[in-house]
Amino acid sequence: MLIINISELAGIDESGKLLKSGAEMAETGRVQNAFVLLKGKKIADYGRMDSESGKKYLSENHRVVDAKGGMVLPCFCDSHTHIVYANSRELEFVDKIRGLSYEDIAKRGGGILNSAKATAEASEDALYDMALQRLEEVMRMGTGAIEIKSGYGLTTESELKLLRVIRRLKENSPMLIKANFLGAHGIPMEYRGHQSDYVDLVINEMIPLVASEDLADFIDVFCDDGFFTVEDTERILMAGLKYGMRPKIHANEMAVSGGVQVGVKYGAISVDHLEQMGQAEIECLKGTETMPTILPGCAFFLNLPLSPAREMIRNGLPVAMASDFNPGTSPSGNMQLILSMACIRYRLTPEEALNATTLNTAYAMDVSEQVGSITKGKLANLIITQPMARLEFMPYYYGANKVSKVILNGKLV
Residues contributing to the site for Fe ion (CB under 5 A): 324
Pick from Fe ion, ligand NIG, none: which does 115 bind, CB < 5 to 8 A by kind? ligand NIG
In angstroms, what is the minimal distance from the CB of 305 to Fe ion? 17
Choice between 150 and 375, CB closer to ligand NIG: 150
Choice between 281 and 324, CB closer to Fe ion: 324
Phi and psi angles of residue 170, each rounded to the nearest 5 degrees, phi first? -60, -45
Choice between 321 and 383, CB closer to ligand NIG: 321
Site for ligand NIG in 80-139 (CB under 6 A): 82, 111-112, 115
Ranges assigned E (strand) in 53-210: 64-66, 70-74, 76-78, 143-149, 176-184
Residue 232 interacts with ligand NIG (CB under 6 A)? no
Measured CA to CA in angstroms, residue 403 lies from 141, 155, 289, 399 at distances of: 6, 39, 32, 12
In angstroms, what is the minimal distance from the CB of 250 to ligand NIG? 5
Site for ligand NIG in 237-276 (CB under 6 A): 250, 253
In angstroms, what is the minimal distance from the CB of 298 to ligand NIG? 5
First vs last C-alpha separation in the chain: 14
Beta strand 143-149 with 270-273 is unpaired
Choice between 106 and 388, CB closer to ligand NIG: 106
In angstroms, what is the minimal distance from the CB of 1 to ligand NIG? 37
Query: How many residues bind ligand NIG, per CB under 6 A?
Result: 13
Q: By three-state DSSP, how is residue 13 classified? A: coil
Pick from ligand NIG, Fe ion, none: which does 375 bind, CB < 5 to 8 A by kind? none
Rounded to the nearest 5 percent, the helix, strand and coil shares of the chain are 40, 25, 35
Q: Please, where are the H alpha helices in 230-308?
A: 230-242, 259-265, 279-285, 296-302
In angstroms, what is the minimal distance from the CB of 409 to ligand NIG? 29
Choice between 7 and 357, CB closer to Fe ion: 357
Choice between 281 and 324, CB closer to ligand NIG: 324
What length does the chain have?
413
Residue 328 interacts with ligand NIG (CB under 6 A)? yes
Residue 222 interacts with ligand NIG (CB under 6 A)? yes
CA distance 174 to 134: 14
Measured CA to CA in angstroms, residue 404 lies from 73, 139, 275, 306 at distances of: 12, 11, 33, 31
Measured CA to CA in angstroms, residue 81 lies from 54, 232, 278, 413 at distances of: 39, 22, 25, 21
Choice between 298 and 337, CB closer to ligand NIG: 298
Pick from ligand NIG, Fe ion, none: which does 112 bind, CB < 5 to 8 A by kind? ligand NIG
Q: Which residue is nearest to ligand NIG (CB)?
A: 328
Which of 24, 147, 217, 324 contacts ligand NIG by CB under 6 A? 324
Helix axes 350-357, 335-344, angle to 10 degrees: 140
Residue 298 interacts with ligand NIG (CB under 6 A)? yes
Choice between 10 and 84, CB closer to ligand NIG: 84
Phi and psi angles of residue 265, each rounded to the nearest 5 degrees, phi first? -60, -35
Of 12, 13, 4, 70, the residue nearest 36 (C-alpha): 4
Of 77, 73, 72, 79, the residue nearest 139 (C-alpha): 77
**Contact positions toward ligand NIG, by CB under 6 A?**
82, 111-112, 115, 222, 250, 253, 298, 324, 326-329
